[in-house]
Amino acid sequence: MAGQISDSQKLSDAQIIAQVCKGLEQVVRNGRTLDWLRARQSKALASPLHQDLMYGCVRHFLSLQHELSQYLAKPLRNKDHDLQMLLLVGAYQLQFSRRPAHAVVNNTVNACRPLGKPWARGLVNGVLRKMQRNAEHQATTSATNNPQWLIEKITQQYPNDAEAVLRANDQRAPMVLRVNTSKISTADYCSELSSQEIAFSVCEPNEAIVLAKPQPASSLPGWNEGQIAVQELSAQFPANLVLQNIPAAINSPVLFDACCAPGGKLYQLHELLSKRYAAHRLVGNDKNPKRLAETLQIGQRLGHADDSKITLRSADATTPDAISKGTYDVLIVDAPCSGSGTIRRNPDIRLLLQPNQIAEHQSLQLALLFNLWRGLKQGGTLLYSTCSVFDEENDQVIEQFVDEHSEACIQPLQLPFGTATRFGWQMLPSEPNTDGFYYALIQKAHGS
């Protein structure tokens, strides 16, 4: 898509819709993620309409596709896949947007021209008019909006919560802020929000603020001054758990965040540690140098980049050189995973994730734990977390790990949302405001 549209171009709705169709093709045909698209898209597309259509169509893709198949006598030709996407964008708007139906149909029909297919106007008009007439009878269900394997896995692993989890995956994610308490107190930041009439609620852990309505982060008070970060609620617990589990006898802890980019938990932890300790040392490591550069930039905005207590570095944390033996009081392994707990935030995961990838994630997660464990001091604590709801990436990983490490002692966890699992703690996206997230805390026995 890059290069087709200049940043300064003013686009009509029909042109935006045509670009959404091209974006959808990149996702469903070429396996590109929404993040990949966003990183490459022209500034001219940074509009609420483009964002709503792109995310909305991906979020409801499977059910819309299912519905569309009932209106087409035969599938469109392979080379007209963009028209299939166009009909889907129209169907999404008829079903989910507040735009008047006639405007939706007109704009969608008009998008045939920028797609280079003006001959298809009649076809698009006819299908959408039929859909419009039936609109009130249409209701999406999780049965048509999820791949069968995902329905089966969630149902098997969460027999009591499956329907709620699948339904939550169709919703928009809440926007959650973390107050940078090294700059401003939560109470003072709440006053700033109130003075700008931005509705919110405050949530555990202390610094979390849930906005009643998402808005661009850069439009929030104190954004440029680094007073806040956007950080999903369940992702705000690991730093607190780490802090609670540093033994009282340690007065200048040394910590290693093995997969730190883009630094959400790293900087939160640094802020919390700075309040409690006169000195600490925090190494933020990530395999991906690009993501590490982004981490540095975020640190600059938050005012942490020049702090000598944090060191950023790039290494593959599965390799022996990544960590030296017996060095750290705390290890944080916020592991790369399927992201299955964040589907409502990243709806493309539901279209792109393949069941066989889960075993690949598990192998990497185990490789990280097996390698990094050497770096932990005796009596030290390792926090393992994923934003996954799959047992294969969570309890099954920890089970295999403790089976092979007799000196690894599981520590009990108690958090305000979620439930205990065999080895850790699981939050689900069906709970208020949290994404699906897993935590396990392991201590290395003394004398091991």
Q: Does residue 216 contact residue 251 with C-beta atoms inside 8 Å?
A: no
Is 291 an interacting residue with respect to ligand SAM (CB under 6 A)? yes
Distance, in Å, from the CA atom of 343 to the CA atom of 138, rounded to the nearest integer, reads 23
Distances (CA, A) of 1 to 4, 26, 34, 51, 248: 6, 9, 13, 15, 55
Which range touches ligand SAM (CB under 6 A), out of 156-164, 281-289, 301-309, 348-356?
Answer: 281-289
**Could you say which residues in the range 243-262 bind ligand SAM, by CB under 6 A?**
258-262
Which CB atom, from 114 or from 238, has the smaller least distance to ligand SAM? Answer: 238
Query: How far from chain centre, in Å, is Cα 27?
Result: 17
In the numeric block, the tokens 């007109």 are attached to 106
Q: How far is the CB of 367 from ligand SAM (least distance, A)?
A: 7
Which CB atom, from 226 or from 262, has the smaller least distance to ligand SAM? Answer: 262
Residue closest to ligand SAM (Cβ)? 259
Among 336, 347, 424, 429, binds ligand SAM (CB under 6 A): 336
Which range touches ligand SAM (CB under 6 A), out of 156-164, 271-279, 313-321, 346-354?
Answer: 313-321
List Cβ neighbours of 46 (8 Å cut-off, separation of 6 or more). Answer: none
Query: Binding mask 61-100 vs ligand SAM (x if CB under 6 A, - otherwise)?
Result: ----------------------------------------
Distance, in Å, from the CA atom of 305 to the CA atom of 297, rounded to the nearest integer, reads 8
Which range touches ligand SAM (CB under 6 A), out of 95-103, 204-212, 285-293, 418-426?
Answer: 285-293
- Spell out a b/e string for 362-387, using b for 16 or more CB atoms within 10 Å of the CB, else e: bebbbebbebbbebbbeebbbbbbbb
Q: Which residues are marked as active site? A: 387
Q: How far is the CB of 400 from ligand SAM (least distance, A)?
A: 18
CA nearest to 448, candidates 366, 362, 325: 325
Is 157 an interacting residue with respect to ligand SAM (CB under 6 A)? no
The DSSP 8-state label assigned to residue 10 in this structure reads P
Q: How far is the CB of 313 from ligand SAM (least distance, A)?
A: 10
Which CB atom, from 242 or from 259, has the smaller least distance to ligand SAM? Answer: 259
Q: How far is the CB of 273 from ligand SAM (least distance, A)?
A: 15
Helical segments of 283-356, H only:
289-302, 348-352
Which CB atom, from 174 or from 263, has the smaller least distance to ligand SAM? Answer: 263
Is 211 an interacting residue with respect to ligand SAM (CB under 6 A)? no
Which CB atom, from 291 or from 405, has the smaller least distance to ligand SAM? Answer: 291
Which CB atom, from 165 or from 260, has the smaller least distance to ligand SAM? Answer: 260
Provide the greatest CA pair distance for the chain. 78
C-beta neighbour count of 320 within 10 angstroms: 10
Which residues is 255 bridged to in the sheet? 282, 330
Q: Which residues bind to ligand SAM, rule: CB under 6 A?
A: 235, 258-265, 286-288, 291, 316-318, 334, 336
